[in-house]
Structure 1
Amino acid sequence: MKSIEEVKRMLSFISPDDRDDWMRVGMALKNEGYDFDLWDTWSQGSDKYSYEGAQGTANQWNSFNKDGLHMGTIVMKAKENGYIPDRSSANTFFVQADRYGLAPLDQTKEQLEALFKRGESFFLDVPTWDSKKGKWRPDGKSGMVMTLEDLPVLEELLKQDNVQQGGLWITENPCIGKEAAQAWKQTHPKNIIRCKENITAFRHCLVEADDMPLEEQESIVRDLRLPIATLTESGGKSVHAVVKVEAEDQKQYTERVNKIHEACKAAGLHIDTQNKDQSRLTRLAGVQRGVGFQRLIATNIGCSTFEEWEQWRNEDLPKPLVSLSIADLAAQEVKPVDWLIKGILPVYGLCMLTAPPKSYKSFMVLDMCLSIASGQPFMGFETCRNEVLYIDTENPSEGLIERIQLIDQQFRERKEQYKGFYAVPWSPDSQVARIGSGLRYQLEDQIRQHPKLKLIVIDMFSGVKPVKNEAGKGVYMAELMPLEELRDFAFENNITVLVVHHNKKKSEVDALESVSGSSGTTGAVSELMVIQRPDRTTTDATLHVTGKRVPEETLCCSFDKKKMRWECMGTEAEVIQEKKKEDFMKEPITQAVRELVMEEKEIIMTSKELKEACGLEGTADKIGKFIGTHIDDFARHCGIVITDKRVGNARKRKFLYWIEPNDEASQVS
């Protein structure tokens, strides 16, 4: 366990201002057995401490569970900010505090009892000096087969100079007994006893790496929750984790060890591939190794079994992808879209309606809910009657009732008509939770109460949006992820969730660009409706509708302050066309020509003759150009067919009234 002074030195390199770092440091300190006062003293270095207060910090400390983060988290964060470990105390790096109270031989005994059963044998190897490599290595030939009952022999070995300089090793798995080893040695005089053939159980594998600091090695193996039987400091550059495998045979052992190595590699731990050998040696705890010490850190940590670890790991991994062939796709039928509001709002998915402040958007979505609940048209569009839930995050029930009454003054008499409408007004006693902090549970509870719900409207999004972004996420992801959670909830429950949001204060020509926030705000949305107003003095607006299953369209709308309801005049193209028609029909030339031709049925005239016959103002050329430009309009709106006709040297036009006007545009109004 690191000294308090060294931990304080590390904490001096870490700022407590970032809440994510503050929490992680607290969890690590508690997991390593340090007192609350150490964390609290460090926390007081933040300007935010006065808001949290000592009691708030204490409550947070008490909520930490002893799981997950350890001292490696603090070490790595401190190193990022310039901390350099005190190498003079390299062999006293963090471990479980109670392990340091064990005498060396007690550490040895505890390690062996965690690895082997009574009566089982293991191979113990002693060091020999390798002059070529200049280091101590396992001798192999001088090693011996031992059992737990041979601890007195170990005590004598520990007195040998070569053992004190090079340490001791043991096999990670049990091996053949002493008599079998002697017999095998006679038939294999040139081979060492420690080999794959003489291992009797595929119980453990070794995980170690020596290319990173000891603290980081331990932090990684702990965070991986590997089913570790023993964790030992080698007395040098590595931590030895003997991991429970409990395989039935060589094939299963290889498969399980490969999975452990893959997980370690993915976590940044580079393990020697020779560690896949079931006869691999690990350092024996409680043994001197030169200036170092082979120290027991912990026993039986992480998951209890390999099966439990694999299940935990699989739950943490994404589900496998399912690919479909072109034949699979061709065999599937595409179901027609089910609509809540035909052409505007489909069933299931996440929809967003945005508008400038004070643009009567709440009246629009409230009218939408009442229309769907009663099966009545919404702004002239057909609805499919379904149950709806309207969540008002800003107004209490009095305000909600007032708005409903403005939309339908007789709603109390018509309550049976609206029996599929449910509302959650704002209340100080039962506030709507935010995304990621209980909202999903509240919505699921409403679905349990009203299983036929098909639409949930949240008015406003700001009332459920997370207050603080998660550390490390950019603006795009911070805005996208909460909405993705709502989208997933909608898909999982086969309903539509509609959230009401604001437009940017600065007006934008493009409807999508006018939505408040980054593009992440609309990234998870299936359908989008954007209200845009030319200015706040007018009740006229456009409603831009777009989405994955909705044809992109711009509707021209107007808010009727007497009815307190929105009305749709048609699509933008239809309204523009209708305006052109009105302007055309108001023109004096149009009216004069129409009146003359309807009376005569057919006339042939030059522009000059037409001017004189109708008493029109302006030049003959101007009249001629107007008629030439609007030949199609005369046919569509007046039923007059105009063709060119040459009489002698004169160019005249023939006006024939022979059909009734087929004016689709006139049907819009």
Structure 2
Amino acid sequence: MRNELDLIQILKGIDPARLDYLGWTNVGMALKHEGYTAYDWDQWSARDSARYKSGECYRKWETFNEDAGAIVTGGTIVQYAKEQGFEFKSNKQDYELDWDSEISAESLVIIDENWLEDRELNEPKDEQWNPTHEIITYLQTLFESTEHVGYVTSTYENDDGRFLPTKGNYDRTAGQLIEALSKANGDIGAVLGDYNPKAGAWIRFNPLDGVDVKNQNVTDFKYALVESDTVALERQNAIIRELELPVAALVYSGGKSVHAIVRIEADDAQEYRKRVNYLYDVCKNNGLVIDTQNRNPSRLSRLPGIRRNDRKQFLMDVNIGKSSWDEWQEWIEGVNDDLPDPEPLTDVFDNLPELAPPLIEGVLRQGHKMLMAGPSKAGKSFALIGLSIAIAEGGKWFGWNCTQGRVLYVNLELDRASALHRFKDVYQALGIPPNNVGNIDIWNLRGKVVPMDKLAPKLIRRAQKKDYIAVIIDPIYKVITGDENSADQMAHFTNQFDKVASELGSSVIYCHHHSKGSQGGKKSMDRASGSGVFARDPDALIDLVELELTDKLLDHERDRNTARIYAEELEKRKPDYFEEVVSEDDKLSKAQMRTYLNNVLSKKDVSQIDVRVQQLEKEMSNLSAWRVEGTLREYPKFPPVNLWFNYPTHLVDEVGVLADLDPEGMNQQTWKKNFSKKKTAEERKSERKEAIETAYNTLDLGDEITIDELAEYMGVTEKTVRNRIKEHGGFWIDEGIVGKK
């Protein structure tokens, strides 16, 4: 079975010529261990044309045994790729997300390498080849007749025995060269100068000013060179054509590469650099590793119509692919953006798609997002545990019916033992038998938390085959990236929930805290801490605000619950008497039920019941009341739901005694100016120190921490981070890496 990472894709980032013999054999052993074939090894090895010998890979393959896999595995290939600068990116066509992959915005991947067929170069036979015609065609295709052309036929030999080009000529125009070549009767040397057949000849593909051959002498930034020495020739030819690069001329170099002269059509040097960077990114992400030295606009390319080491530098094609840069870029992004095309409403008006089924009836649909917000003492984690149980068992949550299914609870705050105990405590307090406890998975991440943009791909990978209908993340402050008051940064943060929901097809439910201060006078959408993005992003917002309990109401609730216990105990001990004598009104009266107990039960029985009542009163000493309000995108607004929170469960107020209570702070003058004392300079300095320490400790996962990572986490500039580190005095900076002294 193959490794989940496609090693063939990763091999594209490894140049076999840069490995020694041991490294080459290690790649072969790793491929065999991971279930690949000798053909795969041979195809990759052929990229090192200087050392490649046909059939050698197949002979060597038979000598490898499985014992080698204990040391040499697919990880060996991954390491070689990393050492040569290979970047691991998400590509759903090629391989699944790695454990530590990040979900990138746009990978610009067009080609499915699994279906790409190599394309022969079709070198012309001697009797068919017309070198002069090829040079003239090249010049006519790339240049205006009045533009100066730089070309090189003279060379010198370096200490390694390589022939290198001189500055060459640049004083004639394309028109002058074409006219002279047309009259030369095939004597190219008479026009361009004789060249060394061991070295070949070169030409500069952008026009010059006739003064020199440097970048500043380029008069029009028309073209860029796409060339790769590390990919097989036939594969280069296939990729260039499959990408529909706007190629003006395609030339075989006579060596290991095809030279594509690509239309860039930039207005100036700055735009040229941007477009070439974009072009090279597209090529690299589609398997064509480019020599980065080719970015130079005055770069030399191979001149067609020339021989080099008994091989032809020949013109393969002209004017292929898209006709212009703009057309090509629009096509690339149109193919790559994964966005649907607009659709006319008339096509679907009478045949609308079905809505996603509900997860929480009347509140949230499956595959949608929900935020639950509340203050620290609202028991939010217990509420979400209760929701997990309601989904797993197909029960009710806050009075709403839940669809039964599998749920993943991502625990970011509690240690493992505490989290597991809480689930059992809530099950028992609710009195629900754990018939479907297997529907609940808990992912305990306390002490292992990473920012959400790095957590999302890890979560998706682990959950892809689990068929969860809900993923609950508690709490999100542990994984927030950046400043929670920044709308832009929080939009990026909440987008990660969209990715999880869309990749898994499950609802994503997450928990956040209220801002500081009284919340009673605020609307539910304005209570969550930080940017308003938090409240506006989810499809459902469930907000808990505390109600102000009066002593009278608490006494009434204690009496009502005591009466309930008395009634339960009396019915259990004297069922006939209970049925014949006790009325419905009596069941609600503490005093009347106590009289019944004293009349028909022994003092021992009454004492046992009193123990249970005392336990109830102890539990109710921490009783609190809450109102659930919400803002929904898919359903009509629901009337407020009133709850009792009696640790560890929330129970709906079925009687209605909480309906007339006001939230805490409702009667305060929330508009009143805050005259609290301003912070001193020392206090502000202390906060800045604490902020840099918090950011560093959060990002400290055993790897190096960079200035950029700290700036991104804190939502400030790199300069601000440097100033704060200097002010703190407890950290060092070395070439962008930050560490503690």
Give the TM-score, by structure 1 length. Answer: 0.46
Give the TM-score, by structure 2 length. Answer: 0.42
